[in-house]
Structure 1
Amino acid sequence: MSLAPPPPPEPKPLVSVIVPCRQEEAYIGRTLASLVANDYPQDRLEILVVDGRSTDRTRDIVGKFQEQYPFIQILDNPKQITPAALNLGIARARGEIILRVDAHGVVPATYISSLVAWLLGSGADNVGGRCINLPGRDTPKARAIALALSHPFGVGNAWFRIGTAAPR
């Protein structure tokens, strides 16, 4: 089986990207930059940043992106926990497809279009990509954690962490 995604459907479905976050000023800009740089048509995309009442600059950074990209919305998560953020985002999502991206995540330029193509072309109920773990700092401890999270010794057969040669 090929790892190339099937041809994308036309017209493209609306995709809602849910980004749960709290106190993410150091990362949220990078995450949003990767999402708006995606090759998926922006008129078929909504990004819902569900913020757990951050007291740092997270909301300010999201606001700057909203000025340029009107398909980005910020939602308030009074419970301040990820499951509540996901539930709020799903309830507000308008998309036919819902995608979750964490606030520390950076996605490749073809990420959304590839996932949409795989989802619709495979008949699967859920698709995802490999999570590549990078050390947060250049220290032996951080490198060891990143390695453990990318190896079967650290995570078992968590295919989204260690990768696979064929779709599963």
Structure 2
Amino acid sequence: SHSTVHDATVSKFPVSLKEINLHGCENIATFNIHHLVNLKVIFCGASSINDATIENLPDSLHEINLNGCQNIANFNIKHLVHLKKIRYSDSALNDASINKFPVSLEEIYLQGCKNISTFNINHLVKLKKIDCSHSTISDATINNFLVSLEEIY
């Protein structure tokens, strides 16, 4: 089914929202939901969401799903200090963005990411699980992972 949700609509979402699912919405790219101070979870997989939008996400987020997003590559989400889980499988994510992940992260999913190889996540002291299967991650990066990690794929 074709989505009729557009950027302007998303930007006007009510402040009370705790979860948003925009999976597969190809008409959304640049919107600002920084005012959604109660938002905990956002699903934007397979959408046209871009770097600028990611950088404007509200600080309240605990989980982000951007699986299959091809228009996001280089962004900074250090301000998302409550973020626990991030899903970027099969996306255009690059090393520089991973280096700027917030220290609160506990789970990272990067399956099938082809633009990553050498990144440093040693600042992510709370990280328990990372999935880099079928990605282009280098052996050196894996060898540098924190010993406190509980699950590596």
Give the TM bin, normalised by the shorter chain. Answer: under 0.3
TM-score by length of 1: 0.25
Q: Name the structure with the higher helix share.
A: 1
TM-score by length of 2: 0.26
Rg (Cα) greater in structure: 1
